[in-house]
């Protein structure tokens, strides 16, 4: 019998900090666990809206609506939670899990989640969904549901649960992003111009080094240029390509195509012949690797491709 009651305590904000840590570890351990949590949460919300007078009746409704018996793999997580408690008692400040799984650092009440070589989905305590790009991380505290503050390093796509009384705030090295409920991408990678792209809703962006803010809506973007926030319309949705796997070009110059590929795949590409930059491309790529796209460009423009010190070198005559 699945331990629905513990998840119910989590959803109703009645659980202890240890139980909260346990549940969040379990959610973020695998996509299957995250999907199961979302399934239970949806039933919880629906049942609670029908009858909020009794927790017992809500849970009766939940268990009645769970058509398929499911078994939670919680035993292993309880061992992890117990290990965390043991380590905390002997004074260590963090617990590190290797490989590409979630890395959780328990320092007082702060949780840090890293994504290493692949993107990772995280469900926050309020139900908001974050997709971390590779080589990125977020930090949030144990009181997240009452103070929805996130620190982001790298890039992430956010799908934020709306809460009129509790804004969702993301802080990067140079930007502060404030929302009530929306979906958007924040790119704060080192060495890149910080940017925010909005897929739905309204986002307020401010520069940490200056006063004032800018509001952007669906299909708009803000880019930090020399400490100034520049607002513009999005020409396409390639800013989300790392997450969606879809890249679209519509009569784009090859120089712009190269910039998009470098940003999406985190590679370095050089056009050895500057005249190639004026060539144009109209194409749509879905779930293609960088090698597959480069191969297509090679055939289309009769190019030669080489690699030098991890850099892709493209050469050929002008169009």
> When comparing pLDDT for 165 and 295, which is higher?
295
Quick one: pLDDT at residue 181? 82
Model pLDDT, residue 187: 94
Distance (Å, whole) CA 121 – CA 132: 6
* Residue 183 predicted with pLDDT over 50: yes
Span 133-160, mean pLDDT?
A: 90
| Mean per-residue pLDDT of the chain | 78
Lowest-pLDDT range, 47-51, 233-237, 302-306? 47-51
Residues of the chain with CATH 3.55.50.30: 239-315
CA neighbours closer than 13 Å in the CB half-sphere of residue 83: 13
CA–CA separation, 50 and 42 (whole Å): 13
* CATH fold label, 239-315: Phage tail protein beta-alpha-beta fold (3.55.50)
Using one digit for the tens of pLDDT, what is the confidence trace for 228-282? Answer: 899 999 988 999 999 999 999 999 999 999 999 999 999 999 999 988 999 999 9
Checking if the pLDDT of 203 tops 70, the result is: yes
Q: Which residue has the higher pLDDT, 64 or 31?
A: 31
Average pLDDT over residues 27-39: 80
Lowest mean pLDDT among 97-101, 199-203, 214-218: 97-101
CATH class of 93-234: mainly beta
The residue that leads in pLDDT, 245 or 78, is 245
| Region 66-91 average pLDDT | 38
Q: Are 221 and 199 in contact (CB under 8 A)?
A: no
Q: How much is the pTM?
A: 0.63
Q: Is residue 73 over pLDDT 70?
A: no
- pLDDT (0 to 100) of residue 210: 84
% the chain with pLDDT above 90: 44
Top-confidence range, 126-130, 172-176, 208-212: 172-176
Quick check: 246 and 285 in contact, CB under 8 A? yes
Report which of residues 48 and 177 the model is more confident about. Answer: 177
Confidence class of residue 96 from pLDDT cuts 50, 70 and 90?
A: very low
Q: How far apart are CA 223 and CA 195, in angstroms?
A: 4
What pLDDT is stored for residue 82 in this prediction? Answer: 38
Q: Report the pLDDT value the prediction gives residue 37, as an integer from 0 to 100.
A: 81
Residue 46: the pLDDT is 56
Neighbours of 296 (CB within 10 A): 14
């Amino acid at each position: 019998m699945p331990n629905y009651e513990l998840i119910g305590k989590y959803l109703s904000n009645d659980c202890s900090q240890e139980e909260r840590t346990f549940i969040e570890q379990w959610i973020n351990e695998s996509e299957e666990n995250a999907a199961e949590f979302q399934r239970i949460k949806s039933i919880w919300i629906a049942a609670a809206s029908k009858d909020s007078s009794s927790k017992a009746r809500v849970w009766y409704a939940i268990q009645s609506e769970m058509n398929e018996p499911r078994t939670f793999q919680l035993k292993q997580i309880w061992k992890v939670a117990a290990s965390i408690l043991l380590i905390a008692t002997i004074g260590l400040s963090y617990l590190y899990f290797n490989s590409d799984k979630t890395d959780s650092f328990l320092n007082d009440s702060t949780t840090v989640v890293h994504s290493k070589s692949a993107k990772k989905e995280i469900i926050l305590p309020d139900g908001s969904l974050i997709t971390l790009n590779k080589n990125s991380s977020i930090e949030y505290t144990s009181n997240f549901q009452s103070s929805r503050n996130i620190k982001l390093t790298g890039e992430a796509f956010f799908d934020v649960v709306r809460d009129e009384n509790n804004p969702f705030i993301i802080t990067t090295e140079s930007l502060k992003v404030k929302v009530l409920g929306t979906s958007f991408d924040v790119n704060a990678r080192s060495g890149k111009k910080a940017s925010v792209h909005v897929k739905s809703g309204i986002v307020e962006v401010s520069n940490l080094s200056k006063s004032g803010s800018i509001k952007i809506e669906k299909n708009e973007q803000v880019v930090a240029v020399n400490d100034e926030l520049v607002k513009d319309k999005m020409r396409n949705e390639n800013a989300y390509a790392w997450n969606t796997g879809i890249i679209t070009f519509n009569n784009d110059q090859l120089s712009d195509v190269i910039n998009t590929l470098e940003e999406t795949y985190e590679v370095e590409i050089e056009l050895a012949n500057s005249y190639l930059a004026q060539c144009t491309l109209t194409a749509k790529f879905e779930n293609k690797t960088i090698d597959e796209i480069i191969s297509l460009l090679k055939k289309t423009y009769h190019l030669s491709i080489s690699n030098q010190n991890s850099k892709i070198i493209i050469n050929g005559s002008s169009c």
